[in-house]
Amino acid sequence: MGEGWDGGVNCGETSWPCITSVSPVIPVAELNHVIDQLAASIREAAAQRTPLRIVGGGTKDFYGGALRGETLATSAYRGIVEYDPTELVITARAGTPLAEIEGALREKRQMLAFEPPHFGFIPSPLNPRRVEQVPSVQPMDATPERASAPESRRAHVRLHGHIPINDMGPLLHASAHPLPKQPEAVASLTPNPSPGARGEHRAADTDRLDREGNVVSAMPADRMATLGGCVAAGLSGPRRACAGAVRDFVLGVRMLDGNGRDLHFGGRVMKNVAGYDVSRLMAGSLGTLGLILEASLKVLPLPAAEATLHLKCAEAEALALMNEWAGKPLPITATAFRNDDLGVRLSGAGAAVEAAAKRIGGTRVDTMLAGSFWNGIREQTDAYFSDARPLWRLSVKSTTPPLDLPGSQLIEWGGALRWLKTDAEARTIRETVARAGGHATLFRGGDKSAGVFQPLSAPLAKIHQRLKQSFDPAGIFNPGRMYPDF
């Protein structure tokens, strides 16, 4: 493997380094202090019954019910705890920027296969990070302990030169043409707010706690998605239908419950059925059950080859094609349909991608453009999402025929995910979607007073309330973020 495996800590008997990249060097004592501070804030809030709003990068503030409570920032608890590429597992702290995690994985040609949307600023691969080498501060502690092993710090990685997510405009040009210039990537290093950003909490990714535990912004920075927010929001991107969702990749979490207790569930291994799967329960729980301190995720290798095709077709035909392909052994890793245009991404071994591309037909899209296109779908910067009407997320059975709802749609996940820009009434939408065996979420904008998520049946609502009560008896974590009644 030689190349790219830059020696270092010996993990067990293999010679691979456990840890490949760590963000700001934070001494263990300081990290423990951060946990103590967070736990103290939680205990105090519980005693006073003061609502707390858990914030990572604040990039998903738009998602879910109204924001209530005093901010409890996870940003000071950051850094990769352990990453051994050959174990296919990464463990990182909640405040770690998602971009940093993805960067560390990319260095080892691996990825978060669920392609989580950031909905914030992502350092551009076109503008590589400046890596400052800092001599090792502390060797990897070999003694096993419950708390995260201290990291080895061989590389101090700082993120420089953020660029905004680009709206590439009308994408999916069949490009026999030369590549259009990408002005945004070159011209602008100035961040512009991501859709839905409100701006009342900035600089989360560089916040630090001072000795008194106050949040101090180290520098005015852009909002960057964090690992904690990614797991808590539970959102997955274009690869979801093929690879699985966040919850499918969560192997373990460390969390603070509503009494400030430091709890570990799951682990750092691929298979683990000891006890209830509380770690997966945390995925998508919107911070209502506890504060995620650390998460261990399964990672996968980057595909060797990728190709994007596009086909002109009507909605019904696109749905038929996507469902037909999904029943064949084809390496399809993403689909997106809008404006009578179906995008299909193939990933895997080179020969397999080529063979599948022949079989599927359509027009091949240039690699750069294809990358921007899928990024636009994942980050919702595609032109489709610029429509001013509220955005609904409809999760349905993939074979559901075209939904008879007013507005414009973008279809992903082989037909199982339908985005809808509409002014239609919530009740109409929810009823239509429920008939299709699914559920509707008011994703962005619109009137949230009628609830953001599909109402639960009475027996499930009761279980939800009891689970909430058991993890957060004082009801302080993100009240109303998921359902109005807890």
Partner 1 sequence: MTAVTETPVDLMRQREAAAALRTFLPESSVLFEREDVKPYECDGLSAYRQVPMVVALPENEGEIQRILKTCFALRVPVVARGAGTGLSGGALPLGNGVLLSLARMMRILEIDPRARTARVQPGVRNLAISEAAAPFGLYYAPDPSSQIACTIGGNVAENSGGVHCLKYGLTVHNIVKLRALSIEGEVLEIGSDGLDAAGYDLLALMTGSEGMLAVVTEVTVKLLPRPSRAQCMLAAFDDVTKAGQAVANIIAAGIIPAGLEMMDKPAIHAVEPFVNAGYPLDAEALLICEADGTDEEVEEEMRRMHEVMRASGATEMRVSRDEAERLRFWAGRKAAFPAVGRITPDYYCMDGTIPRRHVGKVLRDIAGMEKKYRLRCANVFHAGDGNLHPLIMYDANDSDQLQRTEAFGAEILELCIQVGGTITGEHGVGIEKINQMCVQFTAEELEAMHRVKHAFDEHALLNPGKAVPTLHRCAEFGRMHVHSGQEKFPDLPRF
Q: Which of residues 311-370 bind partner 1 (CB under 8 A)?
A: 323-324, 326-331, 348-352, 354-356
Backbone phi, then psi, for 128, in 5-degree steps? -60, 155
Task: Report the site for partner 1 in 405-464 (rule: CB under 8 A).
Answer: 413, 416-417, 436-439, 441, 453-457, 459-460, 463-464
Query: Residue 182 CB: number of other CB atoms within 10 A?
Result: 14
Q: Whose Cβ is closer to partner 1: residue 195's or residue 455's?
A: 455
Among 140, 171, 396, 474, binds partner 1 (CB under 8 A): 396
- Does position 278 bind partner 1 by CB under 8 A? yes
The distance of closest approach from Cβ of residue 141 to partner 1 in the complex, given in angstroms and rounded to an integer, is 11
Residue bearing tokens 């967070």: 38
Return the number of the residue (311 or 436) whose C-beta is nearest partner 1: 436
CB of 173 to partner 1, least distance (A): 28
**Closer to partner 1 by Cβ: residue 198 or 435:** 435
Report in angstroms how near the CB of residue 272 gets to partner 1 at its nearest.
Answer: 4
Q: Which is closer to partner 1, CB of 221 or CB of 321?
A: 321
Binding positions for partner 1, 248-277, rule CB under 8 A: 248, 257, 261-265, 267-277
Q: What does the angle CA 149 – CA 150 – CA 156 come to, to the nearest 5 degrees?
A: 135
| Tokens 């919107």, residue located | 286
How many whole angstroms separate alpha carbon 303 and alpha carbon 109?
9
10 bridge partner residues: none
- Residue 289 as a binder of partner 1 (CB under 8 A): the answer is yes
Nearer residue to partner 1 within complex by CB, 272 or 428: 272
Question: Based on CB atoms, which residue is closest to partner 1, 144 or 183?
Answer: 144
Q: Which of 73, 32, 370 is nearest to 205 (CA)?
A: 73
Q: Which of residues 87-106 bind partner 1 (CB under 8 A)?
A: 87-89
Query: Which letter, b or e, does each residue of 237-262 get, where b requires 16 or more Cβ atoms within 10 Å of its Cβ?
Result: bbbbbbbebbbebbbbbbbbbbebee
How many residues touch partner 1 under the rule CB under 8 A: the total is: 99
Of 12-20, 29-37, 122-130, 177-185, the segment contacting partner 1 by CB under 8 A is: 12-20
Minimum CB distance to partner 1, residue 405 (Å): 16
Q: How far is the CB of 462 from partner 1 (least distance, A)?
A: 8
**Burial (Cβ within 10 Å: 0-12, 13-18, ≥19) of residue 139:** exposed
Torsion, CA 388, CA 389, CA 394, CA 398, rounded to 10:
-70
Q: Which of residues 6, 7, 12, 36 is near partner 1 by CB under 8 A?
A: 12
158: left (phi over 0), alpha (psi -120 to 50) or beta: beta
User: What are the DSSP E strand ranges found in 381-416?
Assistant: 391-395, 408-412
Instruction: Pick from 25, 302, 313, 368 the residue near partner 1 by CB under 8 A.
Output: 302
Give the span between the Cα atoms of 454 and 431, in whole angstroms.
10
Nearest distance in Å: CB 469, partner 1 = 8
**In 379-455, which ranges are E strands?**
391-395, 408-412, 417-421, 439-444
Which range binds partner 1 by CB under 8 A, 63-71, 176-184, 297-305, 403-411? 297-305
The only residue of 50, 86, 138, 214 in contact with partner 1, by rule CB under 8 A: 86
Q: Give the interface segment with partner 1, choosing from 9-17, 31-39, 56-64, 177-185 (CB under 8 A).
A: 9-17
Query: Stretches 34-42, 119-127, 128-136, 279-287: which one binds partner 1 (CB under 8 A)?
Result: 279-287
366: which DSSP letter?
A: P
Going residue by residue from 106 to 135, which x/- string records binding to partner 1, judged by CB under 8 A?
A: ---xx-------------------------
Least Å distance, CB 160 to partner 1, is: 28
Let me know: does 477 contact 258? Beta carbons within 8 Å: yes
CB of 12 to partner 1, least distance (A): 3
Site for partner 1 in 137-176 (CB under 8 A): 143-146
User: Would you give the distance in Å from CA 315 to the centre of its chain?
Assistant: 28
Please write down the HEC assignment for all residues of 178-215.
Answer: CCCCCHHHHHCCCCCCCCCCCCCCCCHHHEEECCCCCE
Site for partner 1 in 221-240 (CB under 8 A): 234, 240
Sign of the CA dihedral with 466 first, then 471, 474, and 476 last: negative
Shortest reach from residue 445's CB to partner 1, in Å = 19
Q: Restricting to residues 15-34, which ones interact with partner 1 according to CB under 8 A? A: 16
Concatenate the DSSP letters of all residues of 338-361 into one string: ETTEEEEEEEESHHHHHHHHHHH-
